[in-house]
Amino acid sequence: MPILSGKVAIVTGAGSGMGREETLLLAREGAKLVATDINEAAVKAVVEEVKAAGGEAAAFAHNVVSEEDWSRVVALAVETYGKIDVLVNNAGISLAVGLLDTTMEQWNKVLAINLTSNFLGMKYVIPHMQKNKSGSIINISSIAGLTGSNGAGAYTASKGGNRMLSKAAAVDFGKDNIRVNSVHPGFIETPMSSDLIKNEQMLQWFLSQTALPRVGRASEVAQAVLFLASDASSYITGVELPVDGGVTAK
């Protein structure tokens, strides 16, 4: 039997990259998916992939920094599927700008999308998980949330905040049997990073940082998310799981 059979999962940023892979994998493992993205056409295409493979999913346009949108999406998820078992706060952006060159507009945007959105997701999903005395929340952070990242102060701050917000929620809601963990991808090939990885000089730099001799795949991040979403990780909460080919082992 699929390991997520009977579970309902929300995945944000599901229209491409890691979010797409997470959505497809969780659906293959039996979950009913609520897939959201700011790009409605992209997330609808992913949901069509799920349905074509025999899965069940619904697509919603979703601005993750909007409290009104979060209220709407969560209400629609419960109305459509009756409950929420898993939340994957995947939506995020990167910003390779040094601290002194970062504008207030850039700072606020990165913090809003990478951190505030996770707070809002948990705020609206956790009450439904409390009713069922069960739930798993996975916040997608970054290796930049574990170590300092050169030339990306706002991004690093947002991902570090994501990590600690996950720990705080794990402590607060463990009594309700709600688990909260963060996943920390390293150098992963996605549409957002593909141009960098195609640059031979950048690729060699990435490889110089890893222990394994390659960059990662979005599907490998999805496998970590699947593990944390499933009952296989039933006694794991408040941890940060690097999926980084050994970058943080160095």
In 3D, which of 145, 228, 140 has the Cα closest to residue 183?
Answer: 140
Which position among 81, 124, 155, 235 bears the catalytic label? 155
Where does the chain have alpha helices with state H?
17-28, 40-52, 67-81, 104-111, 117-132, 153-173, 194-198, 200-209, 218-229
- Backbone angles phi and psi of 3, in degrees to 5: -75, -10
Closest C-alpha among 76, 169, 85 to residue 129: 85
Two tokens, residue 72: 């709407």
Residue 195's alpha-carbon distances to 88, 91, 187, 198, in angstroms, are 26, 20, 13, 5
Instruction: Record the tokens describing residue 213, joined without a space.
Output: 């001799």
To the query of whether residue 155 is one of the catalytic residues in this protein, the response is yes
DSSP single-letter state for residue 245: T
CA 229 to chain centre: 11
Contact 154, 95 (CB under 8 A): yes
Catalytic residues: 155
